[in-house]
Amino acid sequence: MEQGMADLHLGEFEFFKILLPGMSKKKLRLPAKFAGELGEHRDSKLRLAGAGPLWDVDVVSSGDGVYLGRSWRQFASAHDLLEGHLLVLRYDGAGVSTVTVFDGSTCRKQYPHTAAKIFCPSPGSGSNSGGAGAGGGSPSIADPSHLAVTLRQCNLGTKQNQYLNVPVEFQDAHGYARRRRVLPRMGGRSWAVNRKRGKRVLGDRTEFKYGWHQFCVDNGLDLGDTCFFRVIREGSAGDGEEEDDHVLKVEVRKDGTFVA
């Protein structure tokens, strides 16, 4: 049996797909009933929530059905999808679908980069539709533009003790040692968050510190939420001139659902 379907409410509407020998790696066929739930997003794009930031994948129609097309191959490669794997795709609404992968052991596939790791888009792509850093291997640090962090208690403690550590590869790639602040942007609003310098064995480390608490409070962030940061404006990093704003677009995943 190649696929199954469950009639559920929006946000729980899902299907499963077993990757069988001979199936195309370039596209993934969607059940007609699932495709019908996409509404205006049919024949456009579907944003896949896998192990990392959202991936924009084209939804295309042909004579024999509706498929996930361009960028699906990169998504499959980045998530190390193989024959025999079982995928569960749940439509969360607003053109977003969550993908859960079960491997040959019948257990959910674990991706070590789902928390506090770096993700890189494929060259020439405006979205995170590929790149070695998004897969199961070692993350690439060639111009990383994405960061995903699952929030823990240290990120959501008292106002005085709240902070977010920034991975070394990400801070070094964007010159955080010379920056005073970053501007996370969510829901059309930006927050000024000043960084705090700390020490590590091989040099300084960065924490998002002053202003981070307010960002969390205003956006209702909680334990287990996953924040996806994407650099949308690099900005200058000082060096004797006035610092330009370094802007990070933030998307948050709560209980499997993305919020603006």
Query: CA 102, 125, 103 angle in degrees (round to 5)?
Result: 10
pLDDT in tens, 79-99: 889 989 999 888 877 677 888
Lookup: tokens for 242: 């006035």
Class of CATH domain 3-102: mainly beta
> Which CATH superfamily hosts domain 145-259?
DNA-binding pseudobarrel domain (2.40.330.10)
pLDDT in tens, 97-132: 888 899 888 888 877 544 444 333 333 333 333 333
Number of Cβ within 10 Å of residue 154's Cβ equals 12
CA distance 129 to 134: 9
> In the predicted model, what is the mean pLDDT of the chain?
74
For the chain, residues classed under CATH 2.40.330.10 are: 3-102, 145-259
Which one, of 46, 60, 8, 29, lies nearest residue 129 by Cα? 46
Please state the pTM of the whole predicted model: 0.50
